[in-house]
Amino acid sequence: MATSGIDVQGLPLAGIVSEVQGPVVVIRCERLPPLRQSLCTVLDGEHYVFEVHQHLDRHHLRAVTLHTTRGLSRGMPVYDLGTPLHVPVSRGCLGRVLNVFGEPVDDGPPVEAEEYRNVHAPPPPLEQSYGTSTVLETGIKVIDLLCPFARGGKTGLFGGAGVGKTVLIMEFMHAVTALHRGVSVFGGVGERLREGHEIWHELDRTGVLPDATLVFGQMDESPGVRFRVGLTALTYAEYLRDTLHTEVLLLLDNVFRFVQAGSEVSSLLGRMPATVGYQPTLGTEVAELEDRISSTAAGAVTSVQAVYVPADDMTDPAVSTILSHLDTTVILSRSQAGQGIYPAVDPLASGSKLMDRHVLGDRHYAVAEGVREHLARYHELEDIISMVGLEELSAADRQVVLRARKLQRYLSQPFHVTAGHSGIAGVSVPLTDTLADCDAFLAGRFDDVPEDQCYMRASMNRTTQ
């Protein structure tokens, strides 16, 4: 990918290309520019940007390219752009699809810049940051009941391939726009071209696109692009927070690919790998991204991050590092998806730091605990039921199992973003309705309702909203 709009006339000469090693370029300089400085060169009228990552000696540095290196050769002049990577920001970014440089990839006009912002900006000072003790309602029953989102907090969607992480992220974007009149920034880190195309069309079809900014670093691009596109998306989220003073939802799909890109860059720079082959700077790189996601008096940035779990192993070092920064963890289960329960949230493994009686209130806390207890008891009895049958259980256990099965199906929900594929209209359920229904299930008021009537619906007293 080449970037446009750079005029090298008048830019100081930084040095010349000495070596090209895949996405890494060694540049000979008389005077070394600082780390993270942006450099560029010109090839066939196109401008290619590098980012300084390593000083080798007094006259050589290693830079990571933010484009393909095809066509680069030794001896090419390299110019100093004078700043780190920065992007143009304005309210015109809403409704647009951009790349890591803030340039449009939707065939639209360039974003008119009100200002330029450095993608490596520091987090806000501690005294200007706000805590996360308020629930952000999403209209998704299982989320609001058992693992509520913290307004201004960080949520992780953990799961293997094909369990519905991206679909759930798109539904969150719809919820923030519809319920909170907020805006969204979607950061596609290492996104497949097909997935990006589908996301753009789905958001356009559901009317969310005018209130969203999409920033993509595609899977076939340089690891430098995949490594920095998350920071570009975060920069746009910070700008919208500071100027619109509204609810901003930052969605990153997929943070694991950010870690993979960092591992590629680390190996190309010659660093020795650490645990399980990950880069030794893993903790620092993840913290640099996560600590900037914060809320101030101007507004709240609530982050939802999809995290691929390699081999469904939650103890993987990358997964553990990301997990340590989160307020809410939503674990997507392959067994739930196999039963047709969507969203495929594991209600027992998922949790939130807001699951506290003093934050949620006595009623919400009691209902959530009652639902967990029923589902946990059903999980304990599943093996026994498969061996001897439901009829061999005690009357009390049979009652718990039947109610738990209905609760499990009730916590499924049709989404707005999948309505075109499933043929079922999407629903958004207020938390008050979810609490009332679950309370009624626990009290036995729906014991006579067949299980199939609890599946894929809104609240029990209505089917649409």
Contact 119, 230 (CB under 8 A): no
Half-sphere exposure at residue 247, Cβ-oriented, CA atoms within 13 angstroms: 21
Residue 241 identity: R
The amino acid that residue 465 corresponds to is Q
Residue with tokens 């679909």: 167
Active site residue 46: no
Residue 211 neighbours by CB under 8 Å, 6+ apart:
94, 95, 177, 182, 183, 184
Calpha distance 464→426 (Å, rounded):
8
Please tell me whether residue 338 adopts helix, strand or coil conformation. Answer: helix
Distance CA 213, CA 250 (A): 10
Q: What is the spatial distance between Cα 465 and Cα 462, in angstroms, rounded to a whole number? A: 8
Q: Check 31, 74, 181, 192 and give the catalytic one.
A: 192
165 noted as active-site residue: yes
The DSSP result for 3-63, as a single string, is B-----TTPPEEEEEEEEETTEEEEEESSPPPTTEEEEEEETTEEEEEEEEEE-SSSEEEE
**334 is a catalytic site residue:** no
Q: Please identify which of the residues 137, 171, 191, 285 carries the catalytic annotation.
A: 191
CA angle 213, 216, 219 (to 5 degrees): 160
Interatomic CA distance for residues 165 and 142, integer angstroms:
15
Residue 193 belongs to what H/E stretch?
helix 193-205
Rounded distance, CA 360 to CA 431, Å?
Answer: 11
Distances (CA, A) of 12 to 3, 80, 167, 465: 19, 6, 47, 61
Catalytic residue among 165, 226, 257, 403: 165
Which residues are tagged catalytic?
A: 165, 191-192
